[in-house]
Each structure stands twice: as structure tokens, then as C-alpha cells.
Amino acid sequence: MSTGFEEVRLSLPHIELAAHLYGPEDGLPVLALHGWLDNAASFARLAPKLQGLRIVALDFAGHGHSDHRAAGAGYALWDYAFDVLQVAEQFGWQRFSILGHSMGAITAVLLAAAMPERIARLALIDGLVPYTGEAEQAPAKLGEALRARQALSDKRKPVYAEMARAVEARMKGVGAVSREAAELLAQRGLMPVPGGYTWRTDSRLTLPSPLRLSWAHAQAFVRALQCPVSLVLAEQGMMGAQPAVRALLQDLPFEVHRLPGGHHLHLDDETGAQLVADCFNPFLRSP
């Protein structure tokens, strides 16, 4: 597996983020956004297979080697969207494409719908809309989130005596992954502590959302997209079982590819990564 990249740190006005750079400096600009609790290594198999692109694979705030947000701050999707804009500004990219997986794909959709003049193309992997919540559920959900936030200081991250145990835990986590994929994510996502290893991720990332977009909100963002969209759906992924999403896709001019594999099909093995690359190479390089 060819994973040649340059490690960089990006000093934004409000936070410092880490990233991997792939491809030639004069390649077409692409920001790669990973999923929840993952990191830039999510694109270690896929990015080298994408040709003619300058890919900036971010560690989102609170993930990987990026800084955690300040005390009292949160991790809303629109905060990630602002981070993405600030990264593009740092590279001098007025218009760029986004390669997004899961939460990264959802963030990409929100940003592209809100600021269509900035986004050229969206290449999405098993992600489109966030988990939604309707108005009648909002008071209870906010109460749940506030209680969880108050209780967070009493919780401690798990410590694994050996890295292999952390890898096994990640294999069974949300969006189960292959052992090789878990190893790649763990190599970047773990840090040594007394007694072994623990995850670098900010504990606040596990808190429930205080407020969710309604289904009407989610649809509005998707329908507002003006740029070309290519969406890869994993046959054993997390989107295929959502009837509302399937119905929405039937009414949209998206390029949709249904590929074998799980939610992390682009990272689980070389075959899956190549299948995804075969979909996105012609798409991302189109004029």
C-alpha cells in the first residue's frame, strides 16, 4: 500500500489542525473529511489512488493530532464547516472540491448547500444527511445532552495495556472496520499514557447532540446543492437501510454508486479502496 504523504499543521485563527497532504502541488484542490471518531488516516488507502489532485486530509478538531476545542465549546457540524472554510482560506482556495466520509460527507453537504460559490464537486462515501430529530423530541434530547455534559468530568477514557487491544476495540466500534483499517486509525488516534494507551480524541465528541436538524432541514440542505455530487453507498453500510434517504435519492440528480463492503469500504482493504477510486477519479477530475 502506497501511503506517501506530507504531515502538516495548520494554524487557523481559532484552532490548530493537523492534516496529511497528498498529490502534486498543482493538482486540483480537494479537502478530505473523515468520519466521527476517525482521523486523517481514513484516507490512507484511497488518497494515493486518486490522480491529479492536491488532497488535504484533515484531522477534524478533537480528532487525531488536531487540537481540542476550548473549554466550553462544542463540536456541532456547522463548527466543522467553518473549520473547513478556514483551511481553504489558508491554502488560498476560493473554490475546491470535498471528499467526505460519513460525518465528513454530512459536513460537506451542509457547507456546499450554504456556500455553493465555494464548492466545485462533492465526492461522498456512505454519508449524506445527519441523524435527525423532530420538534416534539427536542426538549427531552436537550435535557439528555445537558445531563451528559455535566457528568462528563466523572468519566475516564479506557486505557489499553497493549495497542493490539485498542485495535480490537476499534474493530468492534461504531462503523465496524477491518483489522488493517483499525490499525491505521489507531496508529494516528492513540497516545501513550501511564498503563498503556488511550485515544487522543476529545471526550466531548461522545456527548449526545443538544439539538438535531429536523428531516425537513436535512432535505432542504441536500436539495439546495448546486454542484455535481457523486455518492458511494456501501451495500453493508449505514445508509442503505434508511428508506427516507433512498426515497430522497430517487428524486435527485446525483451520481450514485452501490459498492460491496461496509461503512469504511474505502479503508477496509485495497479492493474497496480501488473500487471507490474508480468512481471518483473521473468525477473529481471532470471540468
Which long-range CB contacts under 8 A does 192-199 form with residues at least 24 apart?
A: 193/159, 194/159, 195/159, 195/161, 196/159, 196/160, 196/161, 196/162, 196/165, 197/159, 197/160, 197/162, 197/163, 197/166, 198/157, 198/158, 198/159, 198/160, 198/166, 199/37, 199/157, 199/158, 199/166
CB 218 within 8 A of CB 132: yes
Q: Catalytic residue among 42, 102, 153, 178, which?
A: 102
Catalytic annotation present for 11:
no
| Cα distance between residue 150 and residue 137, in whole Å | 20
Return the closest-CA partner of residue 170 out of 198, 138, 151, 194.
Answer: 198
Are 34 and 101 in contact by the 8 Å Cβ rule? The answer is yes
Q: Which residues contact 239 (CB under 8 A, 6 or more apart)?
A: 126, 127, 128, 233, 245
How far, in Å, CA of 49 to CA of 52, rounded?
10
Indicate which residues carry an active-site annotation.
102
